[in-house]
Chains A and B, each alone.
Chain A
Amino acid sequence: MRSSCSVIIAASASAVAESQPSDANACRLLVRTVDRKLIEEVIPPRLRKKIDRFSQVSLLAIRELQSQFSDVEKNRVGVFIGNDFAGWNYVYQQTVQMIETRDPMQIDPYVATAWFPAAAQGEITIAHGILGESKTFSAGYLGGGLALEYAARMVEAHALDVAIAGGVEAPDAPVVLQAMAIEQRISAEHPAAEAVGLLALSSSEKDGLARMTISRPRRSAEAALNDVAEKLEGATKIRYHSASVCPHKQDWNQTLSQTETLLRARFGVRLETSVPAWSGMDVGSADFSLSVVEATRSAADGIHALVLGTDFEGLHMAAAITPIAGGAF
């Protein structure tokens, strides 16, 4: 099998709001955060103190998907999350204190469960009593793509009835922002952003928003595209959702323009490029899944959509998001 098919039954994306750059910290220019009020409305203060922001925004996003699995047997539901930078917002200051004082008591008892990338998966399953197989993936911008691919494989094989999948990033910690800035993937003009995109997948077309055909992780954009291309045959218009990367990152921009050239050659005038809502921001692991969320909206409007993603290290994935009406599954 070169791809996995599933039905998207719900999609959820976080709201990204600009933070004020006035708190005298240069790092503020490099990051945009989700409106705290939204999080305060849904997560009780006691839980907020125990978990990192990447888990908080994940819990925020999953609320919109809750109705899709609330009546499903919980061992038939699984959660698949992409995350690359873990929970340094929670841990950074404590780590600095610990190193300064060489005192382990500077580390609070929740660090052990707040920081690691699988924390969001754990918090979601516990908050919603989800009991089925669940996994977390790290692959740069493609973490959400790997999560969606494995989730689709699980529902296609009927190992799960509903799979929640996507990516999340909350890199608001000085050390992570600096790491991203040194690599030139973020700048004041192209800051990092807290972001999450989650989708609910099912094998049943009932109440489906769109079909998702997702490629295997491949070593070229062309190979990934070939896995899903037949799902786009006959479409009069193909809306292409690409990643958004910093203009200073020349090699990455070159990779993206090569991909676009490939698509133009393949689809000609049928291709329409879509500027993402988070254009100008680095959403990390959430990139691929946020594109799928937007593509789901396109498909719900009857437009065939194509998502292509890469980790810029050599891994590529493609997803064809197509309208439910018409065409064989």
Chain B
Amino acid sequence: MKSILNNEAQRERVVVTGIGVVSPAGIGLEAFWQSILEGKSHIREHSYFPQAATRGRAAGFADFKPDTNFSWSKPAEGDSQDRLFLISETAINEALANAGINGNNREVQMANAGLYISSAVGPISTMETIVRDQMRGEIQADSAWRAFSFGRIAARLAAQCGFGGPYALLPMGCSGGCDAVGYGLSAIRSGAVDLAVVGGFEAPITPLVEAAFARIRATSSRDCPAAQASCPFDMQRDGFVLGEGGSALVLERESAALARGARPLGVVAGYGSVCSGFHMTDIHPSGEAIARSIELSLKDANMKMEDIDYANLHGSSTVMNDIAEANALRKLIGEGLAYRKPVTSLKSQIGHALAAASSIELAAAIMTLVEQVIPPTANLVEQDPRVGLDIVSSSPRRTSIRAVLKTASGFGGIHSAVVMAKYGV
């Protein structure tokens, strides 16, 4: 049987025509992009356990109203009013408007549109609030209880945002943003849908998530100003900092986009994902699994590593990630050239929003292709010599960029990569 997935000749390009962003660096694509060019940290002091020795000690909050963050005393938000839903809805609606899918035509264009999104921890704030209320005997039989079903996230958002086609929630770990793109890409290529919105969304700053990551020392605990805590590739890094937000991308076939007069912002050239089969949290220092995911994404894009002009890395600010990710890239690029390959980590500015992280980073990567500018990595003072790559820091770099590689790694040993290419090349 002939496969559409593998047949280059039959395959039409899939382009990005709209982007929506909610992030600690700004709400809305334009605010976000202008902000990240400055290369500043948006992390602030925060803990749900200020007196505890083991705690998360900083976080990146999106300046998102209403204030729907978990509170030890506030009641649960009703169905579809959870912070995760509001963040997702905001980003999805911006992406659709940005793609010119609004007004009277919206319903027609959305009749068969698919919604494919990822979230690692779902409406966790509402879930924790309900656990609290249940344990105190203050149970209200209202719609907030629907939060426990992960699948409802996509179903409710599809209904709220007017998607007439299929929907799916991929509750992946921190590779989720890339995986949603991969799933959407496959859905369009296989003919299941003509238009898809893909994205990763997360509102994970809660006591349970803070405690769980602090207990395995995944999050930064060193004594420093909060804004310096997330410092990927720097000698001082000691763990990631939780962030929140999300990004939505509108994907469609190039011909369909052009036919309706939309402006393609970039090409989704390839996707690759693998398992390490190694450990739930640890990454082998060789970076072998990361390298395999990159190789698959390049093969899918029909490109070679030398075609990649810049890599927007996972760069989580953990020693383990930095070493493995750098080793993977150096192996693929070749030792002699690796130190000249520009790379960055946006987590240095906005922290790590789990499944939403790679989604927000993809939004930045597409803007880099459009504007031909690389936003800098913040907090790089003394680069770890084992990371033999050209880390763009301090100020944005204007250079010619035809293709960007986006890498992501998640708990469960998942490594995913997406290749985005400049439109019109």
Contacts and interface: CB of A to CB of B under 8 A. Distances in A.
B330 to A, nearest CB: 21
Contacts of A121: 412, 414
Interface string A127-153: 011111111111110110010001001
Given A104-B55, A219-B166, A140 B151 contact: yes
A277 interface: no
Contacts of A140: 149, 151-152, 155
Interface in B7-43: none
Contacts of B147: 179
A5 B190 CA distance: 13
A265 interface: no
B183 A84 contact: no
A118 B414 contact: yes
A75 B274 contact: yes
Contacts of B158: 314
A113 B278 CA distance: 14
Interface string B121-159: 110000110111011000101000111111111111011
Contacts of B150: 83-86, 117, 138
B207 A104 contact: yes
Nearest to B50: A102
B191 interface: yes
B134 A178 contact: yes
B259 interface: no
Interface stretch (B89-97, B171-179, B242-250): B171-179
A74 to B, nearest CB: 7
Given A105-B215, A111-B215, A112-B216, A118 B168 contact: no
Interface in A82-109: 83-86, 88, 91-92, 95-96, 98-100, 102-109
Nearest to A77: B275
Given A174-B134, A315-B166, A1 B4 contact: yes
Contact of A102 (B49, B134, B166, B275): B49
Contacts of A116: 120-121, 171, 173, 411-412
Contact of B278 (A84, A95, A126, A136): A126
A136 B49 contact: no
A101 B387 CA distance: 42
Contacts of A112: 212-213, 215-216, 218, 281, 411
A2 B128 CA distance: 41
A315 B154 CA distance: 11
A175 interface: yes
B128 A99 contact: yes
A116 B48 CA distance: 21
Contact of A314 (B159, B191, B272, B412): B159
A118 to B, nearest CB: 5
B171 A159 contact: no
Counting chain A CB atoms within 10 Å of each CB, which of B166, B186, B191, B216 scores highest?
A: B166
Nearest to A81: B171
B134 A117 contact: no
A117 B274 contact: no
A218 interface: yes
A105 to B, nearest CB: 6
Nearest to B5: A157
B279 interface: yes
A185 B210 CA distance: 32
B308 to A, nearest CB: 21
Interface string B95-125: 0000000000000000000000000111000
B190 A219 contact: no
Interface string A192-203: 000000000001
B52 A125 contact: no
B289 to A, nearest CB: 7
Contact of A217 (B5, B132, B168): B168
B192 interface: yes
Contacts of B195: none
B215 A108 contact: yes
Contact of B274 (A107, A108, A132): A132
B151 to A, nearest CB: 4
Interface in A1-18: 1-2, 4-5
Nearest to B130: A175
Counting chain B CB atoms within 10 Å of each CB, which of A75, A116, A137 scores highest?
A: A116
B165 interface: yes
Interface in B53-75: 54-55, 72
B347 interface: no
Interface string B406-425: 00001111100000000000
Contacts of B218: 112
Contacts of A107: 208, 211-212, 215
Given A75-B292, A105-B215, A85 B149 contact: yes
Contact of B151 (A92, A98, A123, A139): A139
B169 interface: yes
Contacts of A99: 72, 128, 131-132, 135, 207
Given A122-B413, A129-B277, A175-B148, A104 B52 contact: yes
A106 B169 CA distance: 30
A176 B4 CA distance: 41
B148 A179 contact: yes
Interface in B265-284: 272-281
23 contacts: A1-B192, A78-B275, A88-B148, A99-B128, A104-B210, A105-B211, A111-B212, A112-B281, A118-B172, A122-B414, A125-B413, A128-B277, A136-B170, A137-B170, A137-B171, A138-B149, A139-B168, A153-B5, A157-B4, A159-B5, A183-B145, A217-B167, A329-B1
Interface of A: 1-2, 4-5, 74-75, 78-79, 83-86, 88, 91-92, 95-96, 98-100, 102-109, 111-113, 115-119, 121-123, 125-126, 128-140, 142-143, 146, 150, 153, 156-159, 174-176, 178-180, 182-183, 203, 216-219, 311, 313-315, 329
Given A122-B411, A175-B134, 13 more contacts: A92-B131, A95-B128, A104-B214, A112-B218, A117-B171, A118-B172, A121-B412, A130-B275, A135-B170, A138-B150, A150-B183, A150-B186, A159-B5
Q: Which 10 A-B pairs have the closest CB atoms?
A: A122-B412, A138-B150, A104-B211, A157-B5, A313-B155, A117-B171, A217-B166, A113-B280, A107-B211, A138-B151
